[in-house]
Amino acid sequence: MHRSFPGSLALILVLAIVTACGSPAPAAPTTAPAAPAATEAAPTSAPAATAAVAAAAVATAAIVAAVPTEGTLTQESPLPQVSPLGGATTPSGSAKIGDWSSPAPTKLPANVTLGFVLGLTQDIAVYGQSQKNGVQLAVDQINAGGYLGKGKLVAAIENSTGTNEGAIAAMTKAIDDDKAVGVVGPTLSAQAFAADPIAQEKGIPVIGPSNTVAGIVEMGNFIFRDSLPESSVIPGTVKQVLSLLGVKKVGILWGNNDDFSVGGYKVFKQALQDNNVPIVDDETFARGDVDFQAQLTKIIAQKPDAIVVSALAKEGALIITQARSLGFTGPLVGGNGFNSPAVITQTGQAGEGLIVGAAWNIASSEPLSQDFITAYQAAFKAAPDQFAVQTYTAVWLFATAIRRADSVDPKTLRDTLAGIQNFATPLGNFSFGPDRNPIHSPVAQIVRGGKFVVLTAETAKANPVR
């Protein structure tokens, strides 16, 4: 899971990432300071074979090191920057994402269909609707800018609902009926485990935009993800919680019948054990439960300093509210399921102080993140979340593979996707590792004033709940 890393390289990475994700940027994205142009990153070499190890280490180092030192460090990329940017004018007037320097494709069909398997209804709609917005924005920009030459990108968006059966049906429809040359989705890891084997079997490349459990890319060589696995995010978040909030013992509440909640629990447990933190009580629930008071009462009786919750948004929001009603005032720490602003609106004051590791925070100083936020807000009159940015990025990754390959042959696209390295995205400098997992930096967040802000010594201090 978390592998050790040579000291000097780790130091470089830490320095790079302190700046990348540590700045206490302002809440309103429109006022965020201008960041250096993405094209300025100086190329240095990093052998591909070390990429997977580097990914894990970068991820953990990033969060561990994320107590910012203001303005003293310059951002450097540990990996070469080989994708020149710029040139395109999109509907936002400013989006510069994309490998515009590669020749415009000439051999594509008039319509190029990508399939999307998204949970647009039921309990996971809080994620799926946001993902759908990300798709629409990316497709609009790609077509308006002529990124695929005369080819028009068509989004075949299929609703998986919240079930595995729904994901299987949606994946089958996207591939067999819509004739998708690639698929983005499904929303849940559980759904990916159910539906991705269909795509693998048929030789259609898939990018999971929100699958964070171990074992996703291991399903086959056509399966990619651009969502950081929890094993790259949680260990660093835990370290930061321990050091910034003085947490010495914790209780855990986790969902035992959803792959994400189970997977997140395992990673949390391992991270706590690695830091010699006693788990004073370990309780479970099932997806769909609404009353968690029995488990929470038992956990609170053991006087934990913090409660770790591995849950999807719907149950997670109820758990937060009920934990506070039962009088728990310590930190609540969750995984990717909490990365929806819906959790904040649903929990209100009870959600203040919630800590969540993420792949992206709205205060990111990445130039393309600022472009993305501006365009998203213009299009949807709302702030984007991590799920929107990851899905938007997945569409651009596919479109870039299509442009570079000048082909819609799924096997050629798979091979071209696998070669994407150092691609500037709103998530930061993005590469696929040799195992088709994403390589970029995570960030630990805390809810303050109804928003996810970067967790720092300062934001950790002001805990209105305590």
What is the contact surface with ligand 1QQ in residues (CB under 6 A)?
A: 127, 187-189, 210-213, 260, 312, 336-337
Within 13 Å and on the Cβ side, how many CA atoms surround 351? 25
- Closer to ligand 1QQ by Cβ: residue 157 or 213: 213
Task: Provide the minimum distance between the beta carbon of 182 and ligand 1QQ in the complex, in angstroms, as a whole number.
Answer: 20
Rounded distance between C-alpha atoms, residue 448 and residue 326, angstroms? 21
> Smaller CB distance to ligand 1QQ: residue 212 or 407?
212
Could you tell me how far CA 154 lies from the centroid of its own chain? 24
- Residue closer to ligand 1QQ by CB (options 127, 254) is 127
Q: How far is the CB of 92 from ligand 1QQ (least distance, A)?
A: 26
Contacts of 22 (CB under 8 A, 6+ apart): 65, 66, 67, 68, 69, 454, 456
The span from the CA of 108 to the CA of 234, in Å, is 41
Which amino acid, residue 405? A
Nearer to ligand 1QQ, 24 or 220 (CB): 220
Min dist. Cβ of residue 443 to ligand 1QQ (A): 16
| Least distance from ligand 1QQ to the Cβ atom of residue 137, Å | 19
Helix axes 313-325, 293-301, angle to 10 degrees: 50
Cα–Cα distance measured from residue 380 to residue 370, given in angstroms and rounded to the nearest whole number: 15
CB of 184 to ligand 1QQ, least distance (A): 13
Closer to ligand 1QQ by CB, 193 or 376: give it. 193
Our CA dihedral for 175, 179, 183, 187, rounded to 10 degrees, sits at -60
**Which CB atom, from 316 or from 367, has the smaller least distance to ligand 1QQ?**
316
**Best CA proximity match to 238, nearest among 455, 72, 91:** 455
In angstroms, what is the minimal distance from the CB of 106 to ligand 1QQ? Answer: 38
Q: Which is nearer to ligand 1QQ, 212 or 295 (CB)?
A: 212
Q: How far is the CB of 96 from ligand 1QQ (least distance, A)?
A: 28
Specify the residue, 81 or 131, whose C-beta has the smaller distance to ligand 1QQ: 131
Question: What's the rounded Cα separation, in Å, for the pair 132 and 194?
Answer: 21
Alpha-carbon torsion angle 392, 453, 351, 249, nearest 10:
110
In the complex, the smallest distance separating the C-beta of residue 187 from ligand 1QQ, rounded to whole angstroms, is 5
Q: How far apart are CA 31 and CA 24, in angstroms?
A: 12
Cα separation, 422 vs 292, in Å, equals 44
Q: Which of 81, 99, 180 is nearest to 142 (CA)?
A: 99
Token output for 66: 């994320």
Is it true that the peptide bond before 186 is cis, omega within 30 degrees of 0?
Answer: yes
